[in-house]
Structure 1
Amino acid sequence: MPRRTATMLASTLMLFALLCAGVFMKAPYSEMSPGPTVNTLGDSHGEPVLNISGHKTYPTTGHLNMTTVRVTGADYDMNLLEAVYGWAAGDNIVVPHENLYPDGKTEQESTQENAEEFSQSQESAKVAALKQLGIPVAARVIVASVVKGSPSEGKLHAGDVIKAVDGTPVNAPEDVAKLVTKHKPGEPVEFTIVPAAEAAEAEKAHREPTGTTKVSIIAGKAEGDGHAVVGIRAGTDHTFPFTIDIKLADVGGPSAGLMFALGIVDKLTPENLTGGKFIAGTGTIDDAGKVGPIGGIQMKTIGARQAGAQYFLTPAENCAAAAGDVPDGLTLVKVSTIDDAVKALEKISKGDTAGLTQCAKS
Structure 2
Amino acid sequence: MSVFAQYARDATPRRGDRGRAGVVLLSAAFVLVLLLGIVPTPYVIEQPGPVYDTLGTSEHEGTNRPLISIPSQETFPTTGELNLLTVSVLGSPETPPHWLDVATAWFDPSKAVVPVESVFPPDVSRKERDEENRVLMVNSQRDAIAAALLELGYEVPGVITVQGIVEGEPAEGIVEEGDRITSVNGTAVTDYGELQDLIAKNGSDRPVELGLTRDGSAMTLQVTPRQREDASVIGVLVTTDYTFPFDVSIQLDDVGGPSAGMMFALGIIDKLEPGELTGGENIAGTGTIDAQGVVGPIGGIRQKLYGAERAGADYFLAPARNCDEVVGHVPDGLDVFAVSTLDDSLAVLKAVADDTSLADLPRCAAE
Normalising to structure 2: TM-score of the pair? 0.76
Query: Paired residue for 2:329, among 316, 325, 328?
Result: 325
1:146: Cα distance to partner? Answer: 5.3
Q: Match for 1:119: what amino acid? A: V
Query: Paired residue for 2:39, among 25, 32, 45?
Result: 25
Distance in 1, Cα, partners of 2:71 & 2:143:
18
Distance in 2, Cα, partners of 1:10 & 1:97:
36
1:342–1:29 Cα change, 3 Å = same
Deviations 1:281-333 (A, max 9, x none): 00111121111111111111111111110000011122232231221211001
Q: Match for 2:336: what amino acid? A: L
Partner residue, 1:249:
253
Q: Match for 1:298: what amino acid? A: R
Query: Paired residue for 2:298, among 294, 307, 310?
Result: 294
CA RMSD of aligned residues (A): 3.4
The structure whose Rg is larger is: 2
Once structures 1 and 2 are overlaid, which stretch shifts more, 276-285 or 138-147? 138-147
1:53: Cα distance to partner? Answer: 2.9
Distance in 1, Cα, partners of 2:364 & 2:167:
46
Query: Paired residue for 1:9, among 17, 23, 37?
Result: 23
Query: Paired residue for 2:360, among 347, 355, 359?
Result: 355
Task: Please tell me whether the aligned partners of residues 34 and 68 of structure 1 are also in contact (alpha carbons under 8 angstroms).
Answer: yes
Q: Match for 1:129: what amino acid? A: A
Partner residue, 2:307:
303
Query: Paired residue for 1:95, among 106, 110, 114?
Result: 114
Deviations 1:220-268 (A, max 9, x none): 99999xxxxxx98776421101001100112111110110011111112
Deviations 1:11-60 (A, max 9, x none): 11221231233234321010111112111011112100101133332221
Normalising to structure 1: TM-score of the pair? 0.77
1:125: Cα distance to partner? Answer: 0.6
Task: Please tell me whether the aligned partners of residues 98 and 104 of structure 1 are also in contact (alpha carbons under 8 angstroms).
Answer: no
Partner residue, 1:115:
134
SS in 2 for 1:95: strand
Task: Please tell me whether the aligned partners of residues 140 and 171 of structure 1 are also in contact (alpha carbons under 8 angstroms).
Answer: no
User: For this pair of structures, how many residues does the alignment match?
Assistant: 319
SS in 2 for 1:145: strand
Task: Please tell me whether the aligned partners of residues 163 and 192 of structure 1 are also in contact (alpha carbons under 8 angstroms).
Answer: no
Counterpart check, 1:41 vs 2:55: yes
Partner residue, 2:12:
none
Gaps of 5+ in 2: 1-14, 199-207, 227-234
1:269: Cα distance to partner? Answer: 1.4
Distance in 1, Cα, partners of 2:36 & 2:247:
54
The sequence identity of aligned pairs, in percent, is 39
Counterpart check, 1:63 vs 2:81: yes
Gaps of 5+ in 1: 181-189, 194-212, 225-230
Task: Please tell me whether the aligned partners of residues 162 and 170 of structure 1 are also in contact (alpha carbons under 8 angstroms).
Answer: no
Query: Paired residue for 1:50, among 68, 87, 109?
Result: 68
Task: Please tell me whether the aligned partners of residues 323 and 332 of structure 1 are also in contact (alpha carbons under 8 angstroms).
Answer: no
Task: Please tell me whether the aligned partners of residues 37 and 307 of structure 1 are also in contact (alpha carbons under 8 angstroms).
Answer: yes
1:47–1:16 Cα change, 3 Å = same
